[in-house]
């Protein structure tokens, strides 16, 4: 055997070992390429997740302000209580003890907390948005596996105020309604992060190495809403909502007619923005009676959607006689009529095979068009509609914006509906001319009547004035937008004058305000199906009529307290809102001569004066007086100093102690102005006139609707009884 044979075998063995090692190294190299290059990024991500705890830091949503920078919605610091169940279980801590310790602090059920801590996971949320005192109490316990994360809580300082405008946020701080939802991207900001190292036991490293990335807070939104005007609107609308027992909701809008800015928008009923998922107690009681869980859940969802529904934007309705403003403008603009054009009303009008009645069943007789507006005469407006013709009427209907959405800032806006060409005949034209048939939204009607008031410019209504940062710098500003010129300045002025006469002398007298020239129109429409005795009552007005600044619309859906004419129950609400708003805005009254003679004056302080000097001071203010007692010096007086009285009222002067006489307030409700005044005088009382009685048009159709003090109250002689009068000949 040659010596080369063993050497050859050794070389073969060495080669095999080399090949084996080379193959192994190649495989390791290939594996390394996969780990470092192909799967590297994914493995790195998993390593980071395994070795760190990454938690979000909530950003603060931008604030929402009214036009004068009053805070309407803001975010405050809150905390979220979280837990790492795996950490608690690995540390062999007693879960029930931890749950029992946390339960009273967090006001939660022990079993609910324990169930969370028993989960096989690294993270659970126990409770969100807890206040500082609760968070500090939890922090002081230093419980294993229990952590606090920085969070943000949305807070609405006025509760129910402007609820349908502002909207609200959900559990994850996301906007779910109103401005909060529409401007979500602007308001929400960007969340921050806290990254902390973890060990192999899934607990934090002892040296607490953390990296914090601060959140970016959201941008602030400034609305066109005026908080004061909004309060006026909500107050008076709510009074009417309950007084008239409105079954299907009510809404009101106040706008600047020159810019399209919405100064106030209210819907009743409303809800608490801080508790948006809490239904009224009566609704909850009804839901509790539903046995089926799925059915109850569906009913709850429907009830919440109804509660959150913004009636002023989302609902559409037949505007009734308020639409006569638009019909009149069409005919005036086309030169088909003038305010002096004669018409005749017999109490009804036959169109093809249908007889359409006037609300004044005995008819208005011969009248001008201006009279027809004042009287809200259906037959006259049917004649006007027929003069306009089907095509031109529909053309103007579209031009006034009723067939499109306005592009408003809030969600769910409906568009108006008109007849299809196949269903648009002479009868439909006749009924549409006085607001029956086509449907519009309150917002569309406000925009259209705003154009009538401002000289013919259809303005786009808007709710957001500007976006600002935390230093007050304006990032974006909304400018008024003219959609189109729909009528001329002349037509606008003619209609304004006729609508002012409607409030001063016609069916709109219940919106009359002494010293302020109000132009307005009543509206009453019967809901479909006809004959259901369900009505929508409305009134729209603007002021001052000779230089319009603001407009107001009130809609009451299904009043059920006996009266349903818009001129009777919606007009007084508009009058109160306009009066409060005009005074707040500093608009100077423009009194007529007749109004000046009946102005209210402040009662001067004449206590301590001689009878002669006291009488002189009172006469200088246009007041009369009566002396009670045999002294020569005034010791007391009724009404008290600072009270207001109509010119010519009586002040009682007491010249002896304890001689004041008491009297019982009589019931003057349903009496005419003359009768009410006479009855109060008999009882030694003064009367302050509000409502339609202030027009000076004393007749049996103007009667006392309410009074304060109430009947049978015992008061001193000379006390002022405030009596609100209503005009009855309305539609």
Catalytically annotated residue among 321, 376, 433, 538? 321
Give the H/E segment covering residue 267. Answer: strand 262-268
Distance in angstroms (rounded) separating the CA atoms of residues 539 and 663: 39
- Buried residues in 583-620 as b, exposed as e (16+ CB within 10 A): eeeebeeeeeeeeeebebbebbebeebebeebbebbee
**Of 494, 547, 556, 498, which is closest to residue 523 (Cα–Cα)?**
556
Distance in angstroms (rounded) separating the CA atoms of residues 569 and 730: 10
Phi, psi at 669, each rounded to 5°: -65, 140
What is the 8-class DSSP label of residue 121? S
What is the 8-class DSSP label of residue 204? B
Residue 50, classed as helix, strand or coil, is: helix
* Contacts of 200 by beta carbon, 8 Å cutoff, 6+ apart: none
**Of 352, 168, 354, 356, which is closest to residue 270 (Cα–Cα)?**
168
Distance in angstroms (rounded) separating the CA atoms of residues 114 and 83: 11
Supply angle C-alpha 327, 328, 332, rounded to 5. 120
CA torsion 478-483-485-487 (nearest 10°) is -110
**Of 74, 76, 141, 77, which is closest to residue 106 (Cα–Cα)?**
141
- For the chain, how far is it from start to end, CA to CA, in angstroms? 133
Residues in the chain: 731
Distance in angstroms (rounded) separating the CA atoms of residues 65 and 227: 9
* Contacts of 329 by beta carbon, 8 Å cutoff, 6+ apart: 396, 452, 486, 487, 491, 492, 495
Distance in angstroms (rounded) separating the CA atoms of residues 702 and 708: 18
Query: What share of residues in the chain are helix, strand, coil (percent, to 5)?
Result: 35, 25, 35
Strand 348-351 to 650-654 pairing: unpaired
- Cβ neighbour number for residue 279 with a 10 Å cutoff: 17
Distance in angstroms (rounded) separating the CA atoms of residues 78 and 173: 12
* Contacts of 340 by beta carbon, 8 Å cutoff, 6+ apart: 368, 369, 370
Distance in angstroms (rounded) separating the CA atoms of residues 548 and 204: 68
* Contacts of 597 by beta carbon, 8 Å cutoff, 6+ apart: 647
Contacts 24+ apart (CB under 8 A), 586-593: 587/516, 587/543, 587/544, 587/549, 589/514, 589/515, 589/516, 590/515, 590/516, 590/517, 590/544, 590/546, 591/514, 591/515
Distance in angstroms (rounded) separating the CA atoms of residues 722 and 325: 33
**Of 631, 627, 653, 633, which is closest to residue 641 (Cα–Cα)?**
653
Q: Is 321 a catalytic residue?
A: yes
Angle at which helices 95-106 and 132-141 pack, to 10 degrees? 160
- Cβ neighbour number for residue 303 with a 10 Å cutoff: 16
Looking at the DSSP assignment, which residues form a beta bridge with residue 524? 537
- The residues annotated with a catalytic role in the active site are 321
């Amino acid at each position: 055997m040659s010596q080369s044979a063993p050497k050859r075998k050794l070389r073969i063995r060495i080669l095999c070992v080399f090949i084996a090692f080379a193959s192994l190294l190649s495989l390791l190299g290939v594996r390394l390429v996969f780990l470092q290059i192909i799967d590297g990024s994914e493995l790195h991500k998993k390593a980071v997740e395994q070795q760190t705890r990454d938690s979000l830091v909530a950003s603060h949503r931008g604030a929402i302000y009214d036009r004068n920078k009053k805070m309407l919605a803001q975010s405050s610091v809150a905390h979220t209580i979280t837990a790492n169940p795996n950490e608690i279980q690995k540390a062999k801590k007693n879960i029930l003890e931890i749950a029992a310790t946390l339960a009273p602090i967090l006001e939660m059920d022990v079993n609910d907390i324990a169930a969370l801590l028993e989960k096989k996971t690294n993270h659970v949320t126990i409770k969100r948005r807890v206040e500082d005192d609760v968070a500090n109490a939890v922090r002081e316990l230093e419980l294993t596996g229990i952590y606090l994360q920085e969070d943000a809580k949305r807070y609405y300082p006025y509760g129910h105020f402007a609820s349908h405008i502002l909207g609200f946020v959900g559990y994850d701080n996301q906007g779910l309604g109103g401005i909060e939802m529409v401007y979500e991207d602007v308001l929400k900001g960007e969340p921050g992060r806290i990254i902390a190292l973890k060990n192999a036991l899934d607990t934090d490293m002892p040296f607490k190495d953390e990296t914090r990335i601060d959140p970016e807070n959201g941008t602030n939104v400034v609305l066109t809403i005026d908080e004061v005007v909004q309060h006026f609107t909500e107050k008076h609308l709510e009074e009417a909502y309950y007084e008239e027992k409105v079954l299907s909701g009510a809404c009101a809008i106040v706008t600047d007619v020159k810019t399209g800015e919405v100064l106030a928008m209210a819907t009743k009923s409303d809800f608490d923005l801080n508790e948006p998922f809490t239904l009224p107690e009566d609704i909850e009681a009804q839901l509790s009676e539903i046995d089926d869980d799925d059915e109850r859940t569906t009913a709850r969802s429907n009830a919440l959607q109804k509660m959150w529904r913004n009636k002023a934007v989302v609902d559409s309705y037949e505007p009734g006689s308020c639409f006569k403003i638009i019909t009149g403008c069409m005919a005036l603009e086309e030169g088909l009529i003038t305010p002096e054009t004669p018409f005749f009303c017999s109490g009804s009008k036959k169109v093809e095979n249908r007889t359409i009645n006037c609300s004044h069943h005995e008819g208005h007789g011969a009248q001008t068009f201006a009279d027809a507006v004042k009287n809200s005469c259906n037959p006259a407006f049917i004649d006007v509609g027929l003069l306009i013709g089907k095509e031109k009427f529909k053309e103007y209907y579209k031009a006034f914006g009723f067939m499109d959405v306005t592009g408003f800032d809030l969600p769910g806006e409906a568009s108006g509906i008109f007849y299809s060409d196949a269903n648009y005949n002479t009868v439909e034209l006749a009924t549409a001319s006085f607001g029956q048939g086509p449907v519009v939204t309150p917002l569309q009607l406000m925009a259209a009547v705003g154009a009538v008031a401002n000289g013919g410019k259809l303005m786009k209504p808007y709710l957001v004035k500007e976006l600002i940062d935390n230093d007050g710098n304006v990032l974006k500003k909304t400018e008024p937008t003219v959609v189109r010129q729909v009528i001329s300045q002349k037509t606008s002025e003619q209609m304004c004058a006729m609508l002012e006469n409607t409030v001063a002398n016609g069916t709109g007298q219940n919106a009359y305000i002494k010293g302020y020239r109000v132009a307005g129109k009543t509206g009453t429409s019967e809901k479909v199906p006809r004959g259901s005795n369900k009505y929508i009552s409305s009134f729209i007005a603007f002021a001052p009529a000779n230089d319009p600044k603001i407009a107001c619309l009130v809609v009451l859906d299904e009043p059920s307290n006996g009266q349903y004419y818009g001129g009777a129950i919606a007009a007084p609400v508009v009058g109160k809102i306009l009066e409060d708003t005009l005074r707040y805005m500093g608009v100077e009254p423009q009194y007529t001569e007749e109004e000046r003679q009946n102005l209210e004056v402040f009662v001067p302080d004449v206590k301590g004066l001689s009878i002669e000097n006291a009488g002189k001071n009172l006469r200088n203010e246009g007041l009369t007086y009566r002396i009670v007692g045999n002294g020569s010096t005034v010791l007391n007086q009724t009404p008290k100093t600072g009270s207001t009285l109509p010119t010519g009222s009586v002040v009682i002067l007491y010249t002896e102690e304890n001689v004041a006489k008491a009297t019982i307030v009589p019931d003057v409700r349903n009496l005419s102005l003359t009768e009410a005044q006479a009855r109060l005088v008999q009882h030694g009382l003064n009367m302050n006139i509000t409502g339609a009685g202030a027009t000076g048009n004393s007749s049996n159709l103007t009667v006392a609707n309410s009074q304060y003090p109430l009947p049978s109250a015992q008061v001193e002689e000379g006390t002022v009884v405030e009596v609100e009068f209503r005009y009855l000949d309305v539609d």
